[in-house]
Structure 1
Amino acid sequence: MEKQSWEGIVLRKGRSKERDQLLVIFNKEKGKQFVLAKGANSITSRRVGIIDTFNVIRFDVAEHAGYAYLRNVDLVSRLQVLKDNSGKRTSMLLAMDVLNRLLPVEEPETELYEDMQQYLRALAVSHHTKQVTYHFLVTILTTLGYYHDDIITFDDILRTVEEITQRDIRRTWKFLDATYA
């Protein structure tokens, strides 16, 4: 069993059996990574609050039989400033959803991880959440090789993501323009 330690952000979490959670974590070294948190849904688990979506965590993973298992986890940041503000939370949700959909699994994206950290810092202090988020979404598409000159608006970005992922996400984010009004 190989043990490794990283820092990353929880992009998504979901149930994987009764007491387990399957986490999607984005970190600098491995990129997007699926990690199984055994017993995380248990009432007595101390991990429940730490592995919440969009928390920045420091974690140890043990790899066994092709699976990554969460061993130890410490909270680095809850990004509470972003979660408490409705507009900033919506912007972060959109950006992280696009990131989760487009990132390849277990391919290091060091530059994009650093861009994401810079985006979160800028979003925390900016009053122009739409512009900050738009620029980060363009950065995601550019870094991953999907950007083209026809991308001008948010709708263009979402349409491009839909074409790549073959999933309807504009319906999910249809309220976005009202949020930014």
Structure 2
Amino acid sequence: MTSYTDQGVVIKRSNFGEADRIITLFTQNHGKVTVIARGVRKPTSKRAGSIELFNLIKASFIKGRGELDTLGEVQSLETFSTWRKHLGRVNIAYQLVEIIDKITPDHQPHPKVFAMLLKFLSEIGNLKIDWELEIGNWKLQILQDLGYWPEDKIFVKDIDQFIENLINRPLHSPKLLHKIRH
């Protein structure tokens, strides 16, 4: 069996079967990878806390015969606990990881986008009044780094609408906070 180790941010997770989870990570050296984490929903699982959404982890992965690799050992490097209790900041993080999940292809490394994601997650706790402008700037940086928008051109329209047209489906995270408030 072939295995590899990398660090990544948990950007998506869903339950699978009775005790497993499907985890999507945006990793430093392998880009976006989707893996199966076996047994993490069991009450005795030691890995469950490490694979929470937005966590930065270091993990080993075992290459699978099918589409999904298997999550091996995992170590939590950063949980970004300073902003997790603030609903608005969690919504900002959801917006960023949803966009990265939707517009990055599997297994294609984007080290600059990975570094940017870590920077964004670290800075969410420090956002002040003009946070909507900051989010727009972050989204634009991601689009530029992935080659979807030229760096020398100013973006003047609705960036979320541009991303929705790019992925051919609506973004759910920008509407999440609005639904919770109303």
User: Which runs of 5 or more residues in structure 1 are unaligned?
Assistant: none
- Contact 2:88–2:177, Cα closer than 8 Å, also in 1: no
TM-score normalised by L of structure 1: 0.87
Matching residue of 2:56: 56
Q: 2: CA distance between counterparts of 1:157 and 1:104?
A: 20
CA shift, 1:104, in A, is 0.7
TM-score normalised by L of structure 2: 0.87
* Runs of 4+ displaced beyond 4 Å: 175-179
CA shift, 1:175, in A, is 6.1
CA shift, 1:55, in A, is 0.9
Q: 1: CA distance between counterparts of 2:121 and 2:173?
A: 22
Matching residue of 1:107: 108
- Contact 1:24–1:33, Cα closer than 8 Å, also in 2: yes
Alignment of 1:15-164 (within 5 A): 15-66=15-66, 67-127=68-128, 128-147=130-149, 149=153, 151-152=155-156, 156-164=158-166
CA shift, 1:124, in A, is 2.4
Q: 2: CA distance between counterparts of 1:177 and 1:71?
A: 38
Q: 2: CA distance between counterparts of 1:104 and 1:53?
A: 20
- Residues 176, 42 of structure 1: alpha-carbon distance in 2 compared, 3 angstrom cutoff: closer
SS in 2 for 1:151: coil
Q: For each residue in 1:81-115, what CA deviation from the matched residue of structure 2 results, as whole angstroms up to 9, or x when unmatched?
A: 12122222111111111111111101000111111
CA shift, 1:68, in A, is 1.0
Q: Which amino acid aligns with 1:80?
A: S
Q: Which amino acid aligns with 1:135?
A: N
Identity of aligned residues (%): 21
CA shift, 1:131, in A, is 2.5
- Residues 52, 175 of structure 1: alpha-carbon distance in 2 compared, 3 angstrom cutoff: closer
User: Which runs of 5 or more residues in structure 2 are unaligned?
Assistant: none
How many residues align? The count is 176
Q: For each residue in 1:22-55, what CA deviation from the matched residue of structure 2 results, as whole angstroms up to 9, or x when unmatched?
A: 1000011001001110111112211222111111
Q: 1: CA distance between counterparts of 2:76 and 2:173?
A: 29
- Contact 1:82–1:92, Cα closer than 8 Å, also in 2: no
Matching residue of 2:2: 2
RMSD (CA atoms): 2.2
- Contact 1:123–1:132, Cα closer than 8 Å, also in 2: no
Name the stretch that deviates more: 18-27 or 42-51.
Answer: 42-51
